[in-house]
Amino acid sequence: MRLFHRLTGWFRSRSLRSRLAMLTAAAVAVAIALSALACWFLVKDQLYKQVKQTLQEAPPRPVLPQEKPASPKGLLSCGSTAYQALSLSKQLDSIRPAHPFPNKWDVQLVAADGMVCFPTGSTKIINVDPSDLSRLDSGLSYTFREGSYENGRPALVRQSPVTLPMEDGTAKPFVMLVANETANQENALRGLGLLLIGVAGLGVVGAGVTGTLVARQALKPVDQLTDVVEHIARTEEVGTTIPVQGNDEIARLATSFNSMSTALLNSRERQTRLIADAGHELRTPLTSLRTNVDLMIRSDETGRPLPPATRTKLLGNMKAQMQELTVLIGDLLQLSRPDSPKPGQNLTVLALHDIAARAVERARLRGPSLTFAVELDPWYVRGDGPALDRAVINLLDNAVKYSPPGGTIEVALHQGALTVRDHGPGIPPDELPYVFDRFWRSPSSRQLPGSGLGLSIVAQTIQDTGGEVALGPARDGGPGALATIRLPGQSDLPQ
């Protein structure tokens, strides 16, 4: 077990290219080994089947003329041992008829009492196996076993029970062993085995080389990806991409990396732009505050106090600048939240119609000369209450800011679609793609108060709630702009 863990650890410590090459070589080696074994066993079965067919052609018993008794004068030479019987058979070969199984089979008969008999012309002794005598009472016509000759040469032996007449007139049971030498078959199988081993070895080496080349080519995009990642880690230059070829898994990985790198670049650019825009927007109120504070300090240091009216105006300006800073910092904090909050975080069931009604009441205070046409149907959503309040208020504040004195603002909520329509100057078509960008302000409205973050907060809040927001021209083609918020929900209060 320890050796297995060691080998596993060693394998995992190799490079991906080496592991892929080794796995390819191992898979090919297993396939070649299985094919070689199947081939070897198939050839062995065919060779031995031919030997068996040859043995099956042998007569089931010795052919004895007129069934003469098995005596030295007959066709069989018998003795108490195989050596004695074979020696007697060789001495009498010149005076007896020819061997009934000439040159094609080697035959030997064995009795239960140890008597061994050979037909005339026999030249080989078949080694007797203990299982041979058990065939005397088996009732089977014949069976086969692997055996050998007395000189050690391999053979395939057929065993069959026979009964022969003896000189005393009795019938004696024997086991007739018919054998054919299988040395040629063994040599052929040995040569085939060596050939298959050589072919398998060459196949494994070739598979290793091929696996290395395939792994190198297949992992080339991974090497490129690694180089790019190391370059980014070393230089912090996000946005670098790699070429994509094909549509396989490596190509998908490269595409995903390119998307991630581009997203990181865009994120860094947005972050840099946000910092620059925030610094620019903070500079104006801070500069005004510093000027007013310096003026008041200088008047005190010179002993020339400011007139009460001037001092009151300066303090009012400072308060307004502080309020602008407070709103700007609040907007920045709102936008600094993660773009993808955790599911279920700060989510409750909210009455969107109540949120819209509260926002309308606040907008009435900011635009007392404006007329509000309100039509709100019940609609319940799941979301962050303070964030939705802020988003709807920002939308209505934007409509109040651009509405002419005495104008009308139409607010409607039907089937989860909240629309706010003003009758102001509207938005030029070329500026519509930028209205939800952070700190973006139309050139025609830069003299109006605001930081350019209100609509960005609206877009982020609505997207976090799972809805959609759009801003465009009025549907009837009249003056003004139409803002639409769509949020998933239902008209009945969820239980």
Q: Taking the chain (495 residues) in consecutive chunks of 10 residues, what is each chunk's mean pLDDT?
A: 72 73 82 89 91 85 54 67 84 60 77 86 86 76 87 90 80 89 90 90 84 77 78 77 76 82 80 68 74 84 82 81 74 60 64 92 86 92 86 87 88 92 84 72 56 75 87 82 90 79
Treating both helix axes as pointing N-terminal to C-terminal, what angle do 16-56 and 2-13 enclose, rounded to 10 degrees?
A: 130
pTM above 0.85, yes or no: no
pLDDT tens per residue across span 54-96: 888 888 777 654 444 444 345 678 888 888 888 887 776 666 5
pLDDT tens per residue across span 135-169: 877 666 788 889 999 888 999 999 888 888 877 77
Work out whether strand 371-376 and strand 408-414 pair parallel, antiparallel, or are unpaired: parallel
Cα 312 to Cα 320: distance, rounded to the nearest angstrom: 12
Distances (CA, A) of 491 to 161, 167, 389: 99, 119, 19
Query: What DSSP element (H or E) covers 302?
Result: helix 249-302
